[in-house]
C-alpha cells in the first residue's frame, strides 16, 4: 500500500478568511486556533478577518499559515488519517516539525512567529522580491542569474519551474532576460527576496534563537528543505540555513516517492503544492485540506489508509 505524506503549504498561499470554516465546524481545529491565540493574541482574527495586505506582511503570514496548517492536520488526525512522512515548503517546514513531534506546538508557533519577524526585517532593509521562472530548465535559470549581482535561483519547485529571489531593481531586468530566453517570469505574492543571501542576517539571528530550543526525534520521517533528505544532524543548523538557502522541493518529493510515498495531502490554503507534485510525478495521488469540504473529500478518499 502506498505511504501517505503530509506536505505543509508555504508563503504566498494565504488568503483572507483562511481556516475559518475549520474553526467553526471542527473541534480539533478550533483548539489549535485557541492555542495559537494564547501565545499570539489575534492570530485567528487575522486569519479570518485580516485583509489581503495585512496577511501579506511576512510577520503575520507565517504564524497565521502555521495555525491554519496545524488546524487542518489536527482535523485529519481526529478523522484517523495519519501519514508516514512529512515535509513543508519554507515556513511549512516549521509546521511539519511541530506536527511530527520534533518540537512542541508552542515552541513551533513561537519559532515561526520569530522567523516571520526576522525575515520581514531583512526584507524591508534589502528591498527584495521573488518571481517564478517557467519554461526554462534549471541550468538555464542558473546561467541567467549568474549575470546579475543580486539575483539567485532559490526554490527548485518542479520541472520547468524555479523561483528566483533578488533585489527589485535587478529583478526587473532579469525578468526581461527570461523572456528573451524563451521563458516566462511571474512575480510572487511575497514581500522579500527569501531563501537567498538577502536573508543572511535573518538566518544568523534565527540560528542564535534556535540554540535554546529542545528538539526531539520526529515520530515520522521528516524531510529538510535544505538537504532534501530526512532530518539528520543539527536541526538548528538545518532550519537556520533554510532561510538563506534554496528550497529543494522537487528533490524532496522525488526522495519521498522513492521511499514509498504514493499519496500526498497538502495542509493549508490552496493546492499549490499539489500542483507542483503532479508535475514532478503524475502517477501519485494528491489531496488537500483547507476547509470542511476538502476535509470530507480527503477523509473519504483516504479511509482505506487509516492506521
CB 104 within 8 A of CB 78: no
Identified catalytic residue from 90, 165, 244, 294? 90
Q: Which three cell numbers stand for residue 250?
A: 522537487
Q: Which three cell numbers stand for residue 125?
A: 532593509
Q: What is the 3 state secondary structure string of the chain?
A: CCEEEEEECCCCCCCCCCCHHHHHHCHHHHHHHHHHHHHCCCHHHHHHHCCHHHHHCHHHHHHHHHHHHHHHHHHHHHCCCCCCEEEECCHHHHHHHHHCCCCCHHHHHHHHHHHHHHHHHHHHHHCEEEEEEECCCHHHHHHHHCCCCCEEEEEEEECCEEEEEEEHHHHHHHHHHHHHCCCEEEECCCCCCCCCHHHHHHHHHHHHHHCCCCCCCCCCEEECCCCCCECCCCHHHHHHHHHHCCECHHHHHHHHHHCCEEEEEEECCCCHHHHHHHHHCCCCEEEEECCHHHHHHHHHHCHHHCC
Count Cβ atoms within 10 A of the Cβ of residue 146 and give its class: 0-12 exposed, 13-18 middle, 19 or more buried.
exposed
**Cα–Cα distance, 201 to 239 (Å, whole number):** 14
Say what the pLDDT of residue 305 is: 62
Is 195 part of the annotated catalytic residue set?
yes
Say what the pLDDT of residue 104 is: 96
Say what the pLDDT of residue 306 is: 57
Is 90 part of the annotated catalytic residue set?
yes
CATH architecture entry for 126-187: 2-Layer Sandwich (3.30)
Say what the pLDDT of residue 190 is: 81
* Low pLDDT (below 50) residues in the chain: 307
Alpha carbon of 267 to those of 2, 10, 95, 136: distances in Å?
Answer: 19, 10, 10, 29
CB 129 within 8 A of CB 171: yes
3-124+197-305: what fold?
Answer: Malonyl-Coenzyme A Acyl Carrier Protein; domain 2 (3.40.366)
Identified catalytic residue from 9, 44, 113, 195? 195
The per-residue pLDDT for range 106-128, each reduced to its tens digit, is 999 999 999 999 999 999 888 89
Domain boundaries, the chain: 3-124+197-305, 126-187
Say what the pLDDT of residue 288 is: 98
Amino acid at each position: 500500500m502506498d505511504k501517505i505524506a503530509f506536505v505543509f503549504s508555504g508563503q504566498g498561499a494565504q488568503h483572507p478568511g483562511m481556516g475559518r470554516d475549520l474553526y467553526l465546524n471542527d473541534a480539533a481545529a478550533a483548539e489549535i486556533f485557541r492555542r495559537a491565540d494564547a501565545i499570539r493574541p489575534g492570530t485567528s482574527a487575522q486569519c479570518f478577518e485580516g485583509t489581503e495586505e495585512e496577511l501579506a506582511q511576512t510577520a503575520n503570514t507565517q504564524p497565521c499559515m502555521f495555525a491554519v496548517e496545524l488546524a487542518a492536520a489536527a482535523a485529519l488526525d481526529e478523522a484517523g488519517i495519519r501519514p508516514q512522512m512529512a515535509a513543508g515548503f519554507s515556513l511549512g517546514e516549521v509546521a511539519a516539525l511541530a506536527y511530527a513531534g520534533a518540537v512542541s506546538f508552542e515552541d513551533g508557533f513561537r519559532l515561526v512567529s520569530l522567523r516571520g519577524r526576522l525575515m520581514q526585517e531583512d526584507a524591508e532593509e534589502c528591498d527584495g522580491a521573488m518571481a517564478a521562472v517557467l519554461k526554462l530548465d534549471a541550468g538555464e535559470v542558473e546561467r541567467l542569474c549568474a549575470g546579475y549581482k543580486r539575483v539567485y535561483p532559490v526554490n527548485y519547485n518542479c520541472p520547468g519551474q524555479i523561483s528566483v529571489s533578488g533585489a527589485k531593481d535587478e529583478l526587473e531586468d532579469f525578468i526581461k532576460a527570461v523572456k528573451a530566453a524563451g521563458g516566462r517570469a511571474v512575480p510572487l505574492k511575497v514581500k522579500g527576496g527569501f531563501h537567498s543571501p538577502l536573508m543572511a542576517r535573518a538566518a544568523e539571528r534565527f540560528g542564535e534563537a534556535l540554540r535554546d530550543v529542545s528538539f526531539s526525534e520526529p515520530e515520522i520521517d521528516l524531510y529538510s528543505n535544505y538537504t532534501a533528505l530526512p532530518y539528520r544532524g543539527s536541526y538548528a543548523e538545518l532550519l537556520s540555513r533554510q532561510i538563506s538557502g534554496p528550497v529543494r522541493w522537487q528533490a524532496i518529493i522525488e526522495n519521498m516517492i522513492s521511499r514509498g510515498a504514493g499519496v500526498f495531502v497538502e495542509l493549508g490554503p490552496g493546492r499549490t503544492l499539489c500542483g507542483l507534485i503532479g508535475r514532478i510525478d503524475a502517477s501519485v495521488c494528491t489531496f488537500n485540506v483547507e476547509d470542511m469540504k476538502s476535509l470530507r473529500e480527503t477523509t473519504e478518499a483516504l479511509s482505506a489508509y487509516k492506521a
